[in-house]
Structure 1
Amino acid sequence: MANYVTQEGFDRMKTELEQLETIERPKITQQIAEARDKGDLSENAEYDAAKEAQGMLEMRISKIKNILAEAKIIDETNLDTSKVSMLTTVTLMNLDTKKEQKFTLVPDNESDLKTGKISVSTPIAKGLLNKKIGETAEIVLPNGNKLSFEILNITI
């Protein structure tokens, strides 16, 4: 299964992978060696903690490598702004609160609510996909509540 990413997201993951492999991995190896030098490993909490941290680090490295290996970089120059799709920024009117909201639909691994980036797999994003300016999106949230949004604008 392809992992869709932006060029920015791809570059960020490559940088994180490099940091983990060249800086964090040697640090943990050093911590394990120092803890091992302290004697009896059966009662050595520092050793256990370092080994656990090493396992978590290796899982993160493996996960990033898998994502990068299957990554499909989305070409933002070919995006269609006539309808809501991945990487489009949509301006909405919440028909219940009469407040404007703005979201950018991004791949799962790039969502960041603080900056208005929501994953395309969220209920709101799914309800907005393929809608056009002027259309209303009726969205049912997991808790059963319903939201109604009017699409005001779609940009890149």
Structure 2
Amino acid sequence: MRAPITMKGALRLRAELEELKSVKRPAVINAIAEARAHGDLKENAEYHAAREQQGFIEGRIKQLEAELSHAQVIDVSSLNAGSRVVFGATVELVDVDTDESKTYQIVGDLEADIKQGWIAISSPVARALIGKHEGDAITIEAPGGTREYEIVAVRYLG
């Protein structure tokens, strides 16, 4: 099964991949060459740090290439699910007990970032929301106990 990803998420990840390939990879290769020029590699911290950084960069490049090649890019703005929550929806919730409001967009696993309000389709919150409608109440098992939310608004912003 192809993993869903929003169009914006795919663009962000492709931009990250391009930066890794065109900027960061060449920079770390230069840093390795420079560190090699300093001589003895056994006690050369710059060389070992640069090689470690190179490993992280190459690993991230491989991960992004694999994920993007298997992703199904979805244009959220073209979805017409009305008040029903499906992949890509931006959902405004209100905590029934505290009246605290939260807004999340349900996105692909690779693009999730809770600081931005982007929650993975595989997360417990997203799974509780999928298929529900504006006005529905949902119950989420959180580490701090059970929380009840009401779905105030469902939007498809793209």
Tell me the TM-score normalized by structure 2.
Answer: 0.88
1:46 counterpart SS class:
helix
Letter in 1 for 2:81: D
Letter in 1 for 2:34: E
In structure 1, stretches of 5+ residues that fail to align are: none
- Is the 2:134–2:154 contact (alpha carbons within 8 Å) kept by the matching residues of 1? yes
Letter in 2 for 1:35: A
Q: Aligned residue for 1:3?
A: 3
- Is the 1:92–1:149 contact (alpha carbons within 8 Å) kept by the matching residues of 2? yes
Q: Aligned residue for 2:102?
A: 101
- 1:53-103 CA distance string (max 9 Å, x none): 111110011111111111110132134133111111222221111233322
- Is the 1:81–1:88 contact (alpha carbons within 8 Å) kept by the matching residues of 2? no
Q: Aligned residue for 2:67?
A: 67
User: Please, what is the CA RMSD of the aligned residues?
Assistant: 1.7
CA distance in 1, matches of 2:64, 2:127: 25
Deviates more, 1:111-120 or 1:130-139: 111-120
Letter in 1 for 2:112: S
CA distance in 1, matches of 2:106, 2:25: 34
Deviation at 1:116, TM superposition (A): 2.6
CA distance in 2, matches of 1:30, 1:3: 36
Deviation at 1:139, TM superposition (A): 1.3
- Is the 2:5–2:108 contact (alpha carbons within 8 Å) kept by the matching residues of 1? yes
CA distance in 2, matches of 1:60, 1:88: 28
Letter in 1 for 2:130: L
- Is the 1:21–1:61 contact (alpha carbons within 8 Å) kept by the matching residues of 2? yes
Letter in 1 for 2:74: I
Letter in 2 for 1:45: A
Q: Aligned residue for 1:83?
A: 84
Deviation at 1:11, TM superposition (A): 1.5
- Is the 1:93–1:149 contact (alpha carbons within 8 Å) kept by the matching residues of 2? yes
- Is the 2:83–2:153 contact (alpha carbons within 8 Å) kept by the matching residues of 1? no
Q: Aligned residue for 1:55?
A: 55
- Is the 1:82–1:133 contact (alpha carbons within 8 Å) kept by the matching residues of 2? yes
Structure with the greater relative contact order (CA < 8 A, sep ≥ 6): 1 or 2? 2
Tell me the TM-score normalized by structure 1.
Answer: 0.89
